[in-house]
């Protein structure tokens, strides 16, 4: 459940490529259509909540769903449609990527959307995967260190998700650590920062990879590690290309 990216590097397009790479079948409920590229979002139009709901209903009626991921949801009405459909159909583990803006500029969630996401989706989530700016929006404070990431993860857990993965790509330094907070303890997933500017869609790809691994039966820790390594391989290929 995410927006369409006309550039093809993020959103539904990135999700479906990632599902295929992990060997699972991907279906899509498109929540928005965007005109964007690697430089930023030029325009966006949110799909009506009724049509979003009808897409979810159609998929749930046809297949057994192993896991769900959400990306760009656009506004509070679409979030409500997604949450109500998720509960009614008793869908699988929910990975929430709390997308608020494109990596290279452009708002992807209206002002009323964040409170709706917090109140309606996070309590349903098996995992929420904010980057540092998104985590800062959720906790209302600055995050610039590993210690602050741990404190933020504790706060976000109180909003209802079963687990929290805070992505550390915005930290300074040679490392790009992600923090998985689950079962009341931290687990660091480490990686070296790679010399590439081609980071458009990495958050979408990561959350899609985690959902694919959960659908295939991985536990949360293994799913996050496998997805992180997949993103790193993709970035490594771009850095060396």
C-alpha span between 61 and 149 (Å, rounded): 40
Q: Name the 3-class secondary structure at 42.
A: strand
Contacts of 31 (CB under 8 A, 6+ apart): 1, 2, 3, 46, 47, 52, 71, 72, 73, 74, 78, 82
Closest Cα to residue 210, out of 122, 92, 104?
92
- The catalytic residue among 34, 70, 202, 205 is 202
Contacts of 135 (CB under 8 A, 6+ apart): 143, 149, 152, 153, 156, 166
30-42 b/e (C-beta count within 10 Å ≥ 16 → b): bbbbbebbbeebe
Encoding tokens for residue 207? 């959350």
- The catalytic residue among 31, 70, 167, 213 is 167
What one-character DSSP code corresponds to residue 119?
Answer: I
204 is catalytic: yes
C-alpha span between 123 and 211 (Å, rounded): 17
18 is catalytic: no
- The catalytic residue among 8, 40, 66, 199 is 199
What one-character DSSP code corresponds to residue 118?
Answer: I
- The catalytic residue among 34, 69, 71, 204 is 204
Which H or E run contains 61?
Answer: helix 49-62
69 is catalytic: no
User: Is-contact 64 76, C-beta < 8 A?
Assistant: no
202 is catalytic: yes
- The catalytic residue among 3, 9, 201, 209 is 201
Indicate which residues carry an active-site annotation.
167, 199, 201-204
């Amino acid at each position: 459940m995410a927006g369409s990216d006309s550039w093809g590097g993020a959103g539904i397009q990135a999700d479906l490529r990632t599902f295929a790479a992990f060997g699972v079948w991907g279906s899509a409920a498109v929540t928005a259509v965007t005109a964007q590229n690697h430089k930023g979002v030029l325009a966006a139009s949110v799909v009506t909540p009724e049509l979003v709901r009808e897409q979810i209903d159609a998929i749930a009626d046809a297949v057994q769903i192993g896991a769900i991921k959400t990306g760009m949801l656009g506004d509070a009405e679409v979030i409500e449609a997604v949450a109500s459909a998720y509960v009614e159909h008793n869908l699988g583990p929910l990975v929430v990527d709390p997308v608020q803006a494109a990596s290279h500029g452009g708002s992807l969630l209206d002002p009323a959307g964040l409170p709706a996401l917090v109140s309606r989706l996070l309590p349903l989530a098996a995992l929420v995967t904010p980057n540092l700016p998104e985590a800062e929006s959720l906790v209302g404070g600055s995050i610039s260190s590993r210690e602050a990431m741990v404190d933020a993860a504790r706060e976000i857990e109180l909003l209802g998700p079963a687990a929290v993965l805070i992505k550390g790509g915005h930290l300074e330094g040679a490392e790009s650590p992600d923090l998985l907070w689950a079962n009341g303890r931290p687990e660091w997933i480490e990686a070296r920062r790679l010399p590439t500017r081609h980071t458009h869609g990495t958050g979408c790809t990561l959350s899609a990879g985690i959902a694919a691994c959960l659908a295939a039966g991985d536990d949360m820790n293994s799913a996050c590690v496998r997805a992180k390594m997949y993103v790193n391989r993709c970035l490594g290929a771009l850095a060396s290309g």
